[in-house]
Amino acid sequence: MASVLQKLHAKFHKVLELNNTISLRVFDFLKNFPPFHILKESELLALSLTAEVLYFDEGETIFYQGEASKNQFFVVKEGAIGLYATSTENKLLINICDEGELFGLRAIIEKDAYKLHAIANEESIVYGIPVIEILQFMDSNDALAQFITTSFQVNFPENSQASFPQKIADFSEGYFDHQLVNFSKNPISCKSNCSIQQAALIMEKHRVGSIIIEENQQPLGIITDKDLRLKVATGKVAIDKKVTEIMSAPVVTASEEITIAEAQIQMLQHKITHLCITEKGTSNSSLKGILSEHDIVALRSNNPYTLLKEIKRASSLDQLKSIRQNLSKLIEKYIQQNASMDFVTQISGAINDALTQRIIDISLSEMPSEPPVPFTWLALGSQGRNEQLLLTDQDNALVFEDVSEANYEVTQQYFLKLAEKVNEGLYTLGYEFCPADMMARNPKWCLSLSQWKKQFQQWITQPDEDSIMLCTIFFDFKKVYGAASLSEQLAQHIFSSIGSFEIFLNYLARNAIQNPAPVGFFRQFVVEKDAQHKNEFDLKARALMPLIDAARVLILSHNLSGKNSTVARYRELQEKEPQNAAIFESCEEAFKLLLRFRTEQGITDESSGRYLPLEDLNKMEKLQLRACFKPLKDIQELLKIRFQLSQIM
């Protein structure tokens, strides 16, 4: 005997054959693609009846960037739909949706406008499906819920035409949706025998828009301002009645581990604006907090995508300072939630660069005239390596196009005045001045291209302690603003000079092993002896810098430019030297762990995070820290052999 579903299917097909053969074709198509393949047959049958078939010619728009979201999402039946980020200057291809792929879902979940522009790249057939139809099945289908949540993370192909900051902004916004929410941990509540008037007075006293009705620390229901307006202010329910008369019950609950994406989906699915956070995520467990739709809006306002947009709109240093403070909060949140250091450094690097670029724009607008020649602003040190997570001191330089000897001084003076404004601006944001004055406002670090080439030539061919130290900073430069050709020519000159004076790399390698693995007898940590940092461990000098220096000299030995970050360098080395891949991989992991230690310490004591009080570490953390020293020892041994350092020690 046929099952109930088989009978339902047969009945459905019979109805469709008579009345709606289009819906049958929709059903037969959708069942082959996620997430529709995980729906129950009855659910997919019902969904297919609601689908709208849409036809688009090549070049026709499905929706515009900034347009209010529709009540349906889309599935490509035939053809291809391009998703573009548009601006007044250009249109950047972000992704292409092919047969069976979904698009347009994010804007509906967020109750926001579309962030991309959807255009048919060729003649296409698209199914439009009311989002409410699929969301109603989520409660009983965990796999569907997981798919919808995961779909928030926008995935951009490596060959995307978007610029790096744009990719970071778009990717990070999706990543942000998967972060845990910060909910109010002091929910305002009352008992079930409380009157509506008493509850309203409590809400007024605490200036909140909702109150939870609870018994035995478990949530029974919730009253919001909307309930008071619609049920009490209209006269439908007397104000002296019990709160149970107007409360919404049962409450929708979630655990403390809920992500932003999951919270938004639950609110949309249940058509609510508040979630009760409980110990186990159920209504019969202890109340821990309350999360409102307003809280999510506030959370979303401090994410990389938003910060980058705010930087572009900022017109003053005070505004930029506030954004930099928000970046610090964002980094702290990512560290607390154990986000990957790759992700954190990319986000921080993109926003730090954007802040510097905006300061330069503002500074240029304050100059009496346009720059006399093209120039490039270089970030050095940790910013140059995309590793500046904390508010450390500045390291930067300026290169300007060659001019005649007669015009050199006046040209340099222009750029020194500009650099002074930029350095002051960075200081206002919280980046301290370099104690050694290695900044673009210093005439030594504000030179023409030819003068910079001459300077590097001298450092490389006449290596001494000072020049080696300067090279370890300047070899990590990256262009942040201005003419890329100047920085490219400088990089080419550096590699050419090193190639003609190879002994320089030996001196650079010798410098990289000056701080050996920082453990003494009985595997004790080597700590500082001076009064200010007595018994503290110097993370920068004894652990991070040796790994940074080793990666730098090895990447230079392969004549590879464009690999500035320490992690990127070790990954490239794994490809170049597969016989040493295990060492380089362990160095990469050790570096990321040490960088996390430093960032956590800097957040804790609002410092550069350089010095780590060992007594603050638990046993596991001490073991993790000590484990980082083995790769350090291995890479230094490799340097000794590779560059025959025993002969020049």
Is 161's pLDDT higher than 60? no
Give the pLDDT score at 301.
62
| Domain CATH for 125 | 2.60.120.10
Of the pLDDT bands very low, low, confident and very high (cuts 50, 70, 90), residue 401 is: very high
Please check whether residue 380 lies inside any domain of the structure.
Answer: yes
Which of these three, 480, 501, 522, is where a domain ends? 501
In whole angstroms, what is the distance from residue 552 CA to residue 591 CA? 13
For residue 587, the enclosing domain spans 510-647
Q: What is the DSSP letter of 579?
A: G
| Domain CATH for 487 | 3.30.460.10
The C-alpha angle with vertex 502 and arms to 500 and 505, in degrees rounded to 5, equals 135
The CA distances from residue 7 to 13, 45, 198, 381, in Å, are 10, 13, 56, 71
356 C-beta neighbours (distance < 10 Å), count: 24
For CA atoms 382, 383, 384, 385, give the dihedral sign.
positive
Q: Which residues pair with 91 in a beta bridge?
A: 86
Please check whether residue 179 lies inside any domain of the structure.
Answer: no
* Cis check: omega of the bond before 35, within 30 degrees of 0: yes
Task: Say which residue, 293 or 48, is predicted with more confidence.
Answer: 48
The phi and psi torsions of 153 (rounded to 5 degrees) equal: -80, 100
Inter-helix orientation angle 341-366/164-176, to 10°: 130
In whole angstroms, what is the distance from residue 125 CA to residue 134 CA? 20
Give the pLDDT score at 150.
53
C-alpha closest to that of 628 among 587, 595, 600, 572 = 587
- Which range among 167-176, 333-342, 499-508 shows the weakest confidence by mean pLDDT? 167-176
In whole angstroms, what is the distance from residue 229 CA to residue 330 CA? 37
Please check whether residue 184 lies inside any domain of the structure.
Answer: no
Assigned token pair, 442: 């210093």
Q: What are the pLDDT digits (tens) for 538-570? A: 999 889 999 999 999 999 999 887 778 999 999
Q: Give me the torsion for CA of 504, 508, 510, 514, rounded to 10°.
A: 160
Average pLDDT along the chain: 84
Pair (486, 457) in one structural domain: yes
Structural domain count of the chain? 4
Give the pLDDT score at 427.
96
Give the pLDDT score at 169.
44
40 C-beta neighbours (distance < 10 Å), count: 13
501 C-beta neighbours (distance < 10 Å), count: 15
Pair (196, 152) in one structural domain: no
Of the pLDDT bands very low, low, confident and very high (cuts 50, 70, 90), residue 368 is: very high
User: Region 75-91: what's the mean pLDDT?
Assistant: 78
- Which range among 168-182, 214-228, 350-364 shows the weakest confidence by mean pLDDT? 168-182
Q: What are the pLDDT digits (tens) for 223-239? A: 998 899 999 989 999 99
Pair (232, 84) in one structural domain: no
Pair (398, 524) in one structural domain: no
Please check whether residue 181 lies inside any domain of the structure.
Answer: no
Pair (492, 598) in one structural domain: no
Of the pLDDT bands very low, low, confident and very high (cuts 50, 70, 90), residue 148 is: low
330: Cβ contacts below 8 Å, ≥ 6 apart = 302, 303, 304, 307, 347
In whole angstroms, what is the distance from residue 393 CA to residue 529 CA? 24
Is 272's pLDDT higher than 90? no
Pair (119, 225) in one structural domain: no
Is 9's pLDDT higher than 80? no
In whole angstroms, what is the distance from residue 290 CA to residue 432 CA? 40
Pair (28, 122) in one structural domain: yes
Is 146's pLDDT higher than 70? no
Give the pLDDT score at 178.
58
Is 173's pLDDT higher than 90? no
Please check whether residue 79 lies inside any domain of the structure.
Answer: yes
Give the pLDDT score at 298.
66
Question: Is the Cβ–Cβ distance between 100 and 76 less than 8 Å?
Answer: yes
Is 159's pLDDT higher than 60? no
Please check whether residue 604 lies inside any domain of the structure.
Answer: yes
Q: What is the DSSP letter of 152?
A: T
For CA atoms 162, 163, 166, 170, give the dihedral sign.
positive
Q: Can you give the three-state secondary structure of 613-642, one letter per residue?
A: EHHHCCHHHHHHHHHCHHHHHHHHHHHHHH
Is 157's pLDDT higher than 60? no
Of the pLDDT bands very low, low, confident and very high (cuts 50, 70, 90), residue 1 is: very low
Give the pLDDT score at 473.
83
Assigned token pair, 83: 């998703």
Pair (489, 523) in one structural domain: no
Pair (358, 287) in one structural domain: no
Give the pLDDT score at 270.
75
Please check whether residue 141 lies inside any domain of the structure.
Answer: yes
Q: What are the pLDDT digits (tens) for 408-422? A: 999 999 999 999 999
Question: Is the Cβ–Cβ distance between 527 and 614 less than 8 Å?
Answer: yes
- In this prediction the pTM is 0.63
Give the pLDDT score at 89.
55
Is 523's pLDDT higher than 80? no
In whole angstroms, what is the distance from residue 410 CA to residue 400 CA? 12
**Which one of 111-125, 253-267, 330-344 scores highest in mean pLDDT?**
111-125
Pair (480, 537) in one structural domain: no
Give the pLDDT score at 88.
53
Q: What is the DSSP letter of 278?
A: E
User: Region 586-612: what's the mean pLDDT?
Assistant: 91
| Domain CATH for 278 | 3.10.580.10
C-alpha closest to that of 97 among 118, 113, 112 = 118
Is 430's pLDDT higher than 90? yes
Pair (143, 62) in one structural domain: yes
- pLDDT above 90 covers a percentage of the chain that reads 39
Instruction: Report helix, strand or coil for 520.
Output: coil
Please check whether residue 229 lies inside any domain of the structure.
Answer: yes
Q: What are the pLDDT digits (tens) for 186-215? A: 889 999 999 999 999 999 998 888 999 998
Which of these three, 259, 291, 323, is where a domain ends? 291
- pLDDT above 70 covers a percentage of the chain that reads 86
Give the pLDDT score at 241.
94
Give the pLDDT score at 267.
79
Pair (392, 431) in one structural domain: yes
Is 171's pLDDT higher than 50? no
In whole angstroms, what is the distance from residue 95 CA to residue 604 CA? 40
- Does an H or E element contain 211, and which? strand 210-215
Give the pLDDT score at 177.
54
Q: What are the pLDDT digits (tens) for 619-641? A: 888 888 888 888 999 999 999 99
Q: What are the pLDDT digits (tens) for 454-495? A: 999 999 988 888 888 888 888 888 999 999 999 999 999 988
